[in-house]
Amino acid sequence: MTLMWTKSLVMIIIMILLLDCAGVRTLLPPPASVSVESVDMRHILRWRPLQVSCKTSALYSVQFQGEFELTVLNDSWVDAAECQLIPRSHCDLTLDLGSDSDYSVRVRAKCGSQLSTWAVLSPPFNRKNSVLTVPDMKVSAVGDTLQVSFDKVPPSAIIRVTVWRSGNELKADVYSVAAGQAGLNIAALQEGVKYCVRARLILENQFQSNSTDTHCDIIPGSGPAWRIVTTVTVTIVLMSVLLSAVLSVVVHCDFCQTYFQKDPHPPSLPSVWDLQNATVCHEPEVYDLIDAMIDSEQQTLKSDEDEEDEDVFVSHVDKQGVKLPSSVDVVDGYCSQLHESTAAKQSILYFYV
């Protein structure tokens, strides 16, 4: 009897071992290298794909368990809604892991009718361990304003910007830039002074990234005084040169002179050109002119007066002892008066010049 019970027990153990071995052969190996990458509060679960051949596409499912599921839902696991029977080897759990508690996460594979065991994430994940990247900040000085811009700001995040005058960081001003805001303009800063800027990413007022490198820049303002004076001086010189060129063209343009004529000099102020080209007294020519004038006058007198009157005039002249001037005397007097008049006009012209 005892021998029969012993044989039966051995057979049961052998059958259990055979069934266990057969079951192991039918199960898939679990996914390996399960991990969570969390950057700027975005949580991505990753694992290594199956290394065994599968006639159909391998599919994966993910479950999670937090403090609420552990205590309130009686140690239950919740399916990740977006990560059930997916062909890819990663899953976004940002919306599922929404509290600061520790989360256990597991994943398993399926190939046809075969299922793998669960591969559990170790250690559990807490979003407090999410890595916040340093903002990509650009700073430029335009006039009396500092322009601060950021490349990418995560949703629901803010960037805290600290600005201070170089050497006086204890009196810094703090500004906030919300997600979707283009940037920050800090105006009415003192010209010629160096200001420094530093920023960091803040999430939910409790998680923050490391600070950016400090960027310092000098406020140029409207420019130094010497630059303004130089600009005004150069402008005046250029305008003067341009005006002189226009006037020169007008003066030397024959066509323009027909419309812009100079007023003639008054008789008492002859031009230098007239004085330099004044008529020079050439005695032979003047003598001929005077003789011709006397002959003309004599012929006129002869035609108008009779001989009797002429005899009376001659006798009267002889009695009075009057001597008629000769042509030479007349020319000398004319030339003398001409030179005196020319000298007087030159002296008047020099006085006005």
Neighbouring C-beta atoms of residue 194, cutoff 10 Å: 13
The 10s digit of each residue's pLDDT in 81-131 is 999 999 999 999 999 998 889 999 999 999 999 999 999 999 999 998 999
CATH superfamily of 137-218: Immunoglobulins (2.60.40.10)
CA angle 88/94/96 to nearest 5° reads 95
Q: Delimit the domains of the chain by residue range.
A: 27-124, 137-218, 225-262, 272-352
pLDDT at 323: 47
> Do residues 152 and 186 touch, judged by C-beta distance below 8 A?
no
* 27-124 against 137-218: fold identical: yes
The 10s digit of each residue's pLDDT in 220-232 is 866 555 666 688 7
DSSP string, 271-286: -HHHHHTPPP--HHHH
> Do residues 335 and 281 touch, judged by C-beta distance below 8 A?
yes
- Residues 158 and 184: their CA atoms lie apart, in Å, by 12
Global pTM reads 0.51
Secondary structure element (H or E) that encloses residue 177, with its range: strand 173-178
Alpha carbon separation from 213 to 162, 198, 199, 200, 258 (Å, rounded): 12, 6, 8, 10, 74
CATH superfamily of 27-124: Immunoglobulins (2.60.40.10)
> Do residues 159 and 176 touch, judged by C-beta distance below 8 A?
yes
> What is the pLDDT confidence band of residue 314, given thresholds at 50, 70 and 90?
very low
